[in-house]
Amino acid sequence: MDRIARALLPVALILSAPAPASGQAPGSKFAALIGGAVRSDLGSFVNTGGRWGGTAGILFGVNTSWSSITVEGNWIQKGDESTHLDYIEVPVTVGGVMLLRDGKTRGRLYTGLSLGFNTSCESEVLNCDLAEDTELGLPLGFQFATVRGANTFIGIDVRYSFPLLEVYDDLDAHNRPWQFRIMIGRTLGQSSR
């Protein structure tokens, strides 16, 4: 319970932060392909080293005047060097947005909740049958995206997901992934106010 309280603290801080002072034009709906590298380990377990993996997915979102809400569908590789765990993950995030560089670039600090479904497991040291089928995480990250051409954008996303559930309960082992991703997307139209 203490770990959940510590994980929810960043959510409270971000949601209580004031909106950026600069006025921003009405936002828009958007979609993006998103993918990149993942660095993960199994925390609270024997140190077997980390694992580099990949992630790919799609992101849908809505920008408002000072915030953005997104829903993603991702494939992601987690675990460590001896235990490889793959997931389909559905994060929902909310965060403050700030316009930069003459309004063409947006910076975003965000958090949310992520639900993951284990799709495969390979391990040299652990029994994959004992791995949990689902996981819950608290993503915390930042994004920068800039407009390129008519209604298209490109950006970067860096995220750490705080684990809220263990992958192996009896071992107190949980995924600790860092994600380094690139977004390529386009606006889909104006959001309603």
What mean pLDDT comes out for the span 13-27?
39
Q: Measured between alpha carbons, how far is 174 from 52 in angstroms, rounded to an integer?
A: 16
CA atoms within 13 A on the CB side of 14: 23
What mean pLDDT comes out for the span 2-30?
47
The residue ranking higher by pLDDT, 49 or 143, is 143
Q: Which of 142, 141, 143 is nearest to 154 (CA)?
A: 143
Binned at pLDDT 50, 70 and 90, residue 71 comes out as: very high
Q: Is the pLDDT of residue 21 over 50?
A: no
What mean pLDDT comes out for the span 21-36?
70
Domain extent, residue 142, equals: 2-17+26-190
pLDDT of residue 178: 96
Q: Measured between alpha carbons, how far is 52 from 163 in angstroms, rounded to an integer?
A: 18
Q: Is the pLDDT of residue 65 over 80?
A: no
Binned at pLDDT 50, 70 and 90, residue 103 comes out as: confident
The percentage of the chain sitting over the pLDDT mark of 90, rounded to a whole number, equals: 58
Number of domains making up the chain? 1
Q: Tell me the per-residue pLDDT of 110-169, one tens digit each, with 9 for 90 and over.
A: 999 999 999 999 998 889 999 999 999 999 999 999 988 878 999 999 999 999 998 887
pLDDT of residue 64: 81
Give the tokens for residue 154: 């490109």
Q: What is the CATH number of the domain that holds 114?
A: 2.40.160.20
Give the tokens for residue 126: 């652990």
Q: Measured between alpha carbons, how far is 142 from 149 in angstroms, rounded to an integer?
A: 23
State the DSSP string of 129-176.
Answer: GGS-SEEEEEEEEEEEEEE-SSSEEEEEEEEEEEESS-SBGGGTBEE-
Output DSSP code: residue 1.
Answer: -
The residue ranking higher by pLDDT, 15 or 79, is 79
Q: Which of 27, 22, 191 is nearest to 101 (CA)?
A: 22
